[in-house]
Amino acid sequence: MLVVRFFARVREELGRDVLEVPWTDRVADVDSLQEHLCTAYGVHWRRVLAQDNIIRAVNRAVVHGNSPLDDGDEVAFFPPVTGG
Choose the binding region for another protein from 21-29, 36-44, 76-84 (rule: CB under 8 A). 76-84
Instruction: By CB under 8 A, name the one of 7, 19, 32, 35 that touches another protein.
Output: 7
Contact between 45 and 38 under an 8 Å Cβ cutoff? The reply is yes
Binding segment toward another protein, per CB under 8 A, in 25-33, 41-49, 71-79? 71-79
CA–CA gap between residue 37 and residue 56 (Å, rounded): 14
Query: CB 27 → another protein: shortest distance, Å?
Result: 21
Q: Give the residue ranges of DSSP H helices in the chain.
A: 8-14, 30-41, 43-49
Residue of 1, 18, 40, 62 that binds another protein (CB under 8 A) = 62
| Cα pseudo-dihedral 75, 47, 81, 67, rounded to 10 | 30
Q: Interface with another protein includes 8 (CB under 8 A)? A: yes
Q: Is 65 in the site for another protein (CB under 8 A)?
A: no
Do the beta carbons of residue 3 and residue 18 sit within 8 Å?
A: yes
Interface pick for another protein out of 3, 5, 14, 23 (rule CB under 8 A) = 5
Amino acid at 30: V
